[in-house]
Amino acid sequence: MEKKILNLTQHSPTLEQIQVGVFEPSGGHKKEIQRLLTFDAVPSVLEMYDRANQIALVAKTYGVKFAMIGGAPFFMQFLERALSVNRIEPVYAFSRREVVEQRHVDGKVEKKAIFRHVGFVRVFKMYDEQI
């Protein structure tokens, strides 16, 4: 599968996401993105604007049209704008939760939630191609 969606989240992509083209930035870039997505104190608008622009500039070096984003909800609008200004379309992963029950020999029932990647939510459709 062609690598076409840059992962700009703090987490690693799932196998299902990798199979549809999501890929990780290089190690140094990944650490920088994680640092910029992490807020330890209430940020100012200027700080969010600056961090979003820094992430977008890193993303631009990969020459992608799409970036999977996620993180603090209050920050996403800044990141969406910064990416779109740099001609990168932000997308959000959409997954379906499946609950699986496992009955143990002692009679206890264990429930596990498994999240299955279903597709991407496009905030604004900048490109006609399917993702």
pLDDT tens digits for 1-42?
577 999 999 999 999 999 999 999 998 999 999 999 999 999
pLDDT for the residue numbered 1: 58
Q: How far apart are CA 10 and CA 50, in angstroms?
A: 18
Residue 113: what pLDDT? 87
Report the pLDDT value the prediction gives residue 11, as an integer from 0 to 100: 94
Local confidence band at 114 (pLDDT 50, 70, 90 cut-offs):
confident
Burial environment of residue 22 by CB neighbours within 10 A (0 to 12, 13 to 18, 19 or more) = buried
Residues 93-118, mean pLDDT to the nearest whole number: 91
- The 10s digit of each residue's pLDDT in 41-97 is 999 999 999 999 999 999 999 999 999 999 999 999 999 999 999 999 999 999 998
Question: Exposed, middle or buried, 4 (CB in 10 Å: 0-12/13-18/19+)?
Answer: middle
Query: Residue 122, CB half-sphere, CA atoms under 13 Å: how many?
Result: 14
Task: Please check the confidence at residue 105 and state whether its pLDDT lies above 70.
Answer: yes
